[in-house]
Amino acid sequence: MDNIYNSVIEALVFASDEPITPQEIINAIKGIDGIDTEVDADEIDAAVGELNQKYDEIGSAFTILKIAHGYSFATRPNNAKYVGYLSTEKSKRRLSNAALETLAIIAYKQPLTKPELEMIRGVNSDYTLNTLLEKNLVTISGRAETVGRPLLYATTDEFLKYFGLHTINDLPKPREIEEIMKDEDFLEQKRKIMMGGLEEQAEAEAELEREISGESDDEGDDSDNIEAEEEIKEEEEITSFEENELGTDLENESKTE
């Protein structure tokens, strides 16, 4: 494959709203230059490697990542703090603690059934699971070969895109998670997120109270009220989970004594 296609591949990755697969790149090239054009997935991957090497040499702020079986532009990790500072959480509503917890369990244990999920969490997960299904972050992957044949849940390609992963195997290992949780930058980000979550919960509760008392406007508030109710329901799930964890700890301490 000619080096001229490096520029073509760069343009296609840049112009694509979603991670673009090697086959989509090949189809675009052959669609313009003819089906006899010799290009394959390995050559596409090699070209992306050359582009990333060029970005490294010039100290570029971005790179091309493999995400969800395709390629996508992304800013470099050392710029993450600055980009994160500019981004506003409310412009794209982040997942609640309950949703993240449920999603993490499914990601590491998939495929698993709803009873298995609730056994790990210790609380009913109907609402959170339905939310993740609606967001297309999890999907029904089949049925278990057990009594009643319950549904099995697994993550989707949308999950990979959301978290910037190429495959599910790119998830951090338990040992890596322990190291991350001890990192000072992680602890600082965690504090900021928790403070933001408390503020959002207070806003949601205040908004719901205004709706119940008839103080909210008659028009334009329906979506906001729905979001407020969703946040409170999800916070209730997390609270129930934390209370269950506390009860278990106290029970274990009493047995030890």
Out of 1.10.10.10, 1.10.287.470, 3.30.565.10, 3.40.50.2300, which CATH number does the structure's domain 4-82 have? 1.10.10.10
* Number of CB atoms found within 10 A of residue 228's CB: 22
Backbone torsions φ then ψ of 67, nearest 5 degrees:
-135, 130
Helix axes 4-15, 41-58, angle to 10 degrees: 90
Burial of residue 106 (number of CB atoms within 10 Å: 0-12, 13-18, 19+): buried
Q: Is 149 left (phi over 0), alpha (psi -120 to 50) or beta?
A: left
Integer angstrom CA distances of residue 94 from 33, 51, 178, 230: 43, 32, 23, 12
For the chain, give every domain's residue range.
4-82, 97-256
pTM, full prediction: 0.53
What CA–CA distance (Å, rounded) separates 70 from 48?
11
Cβ contact 81:186 at 8 Å: no
Instruction: Sort 32 into a burial class: Cβ within 10 Å, 0-12 / 13-18 / 19+.
Output: exposed
- How confident is the prediction along the chain (257 residues), in pLDDT tens digits per residue? 667 789 999 999 999 989 999 999 999 999 999 988 889 999 999 999 999 999 999 999 999 999 988 999 999 988 887 887 776 554 445 788 889 899 999 999 999 999 999 999 999 989 999 999 998 999 999 999 988 899 999 999 989 988 888 888 888 887 777 777 777 776 776 676 666 666 666 777 777 777 777 654 554 455 555 555 666 666 566 555 555 554 555 455 444 44
Instruction: Give me the amino acid identity at 220.
Output: G
Going by C-alpha positions, the residue among 57, 59, 49 that lies closest to residue 13 is 49
Q: What are phi and psi of 109, to 5 degrees?
A: -110, 0
Alpha-carbon gap, residue 8 to 19, rounded angstroms? 15
Please tell me what DSSP assigns to residue 147.
T
Cβ atoms of 240 and 102 within 8 Å: the answer is no
Report how far apart, in Å, the C-alpha atoms of 117 and of each of 151, 154, 162, 215 are: 12, 11, 21, 39
HSE (side-chain half, CA atoms, 13 Å) at 170: 14
Burial class of residue 96 in the structure, from the number of CB atoms within 10 Å of its CB (0-12 exposed, 13-18 middle, 19+ buried): buried
pLDDT for 161 equals 86
Question: What CATH class is the domain 97-256?
Answer: mainly alpha
- pLDDT at residue number 141: 93
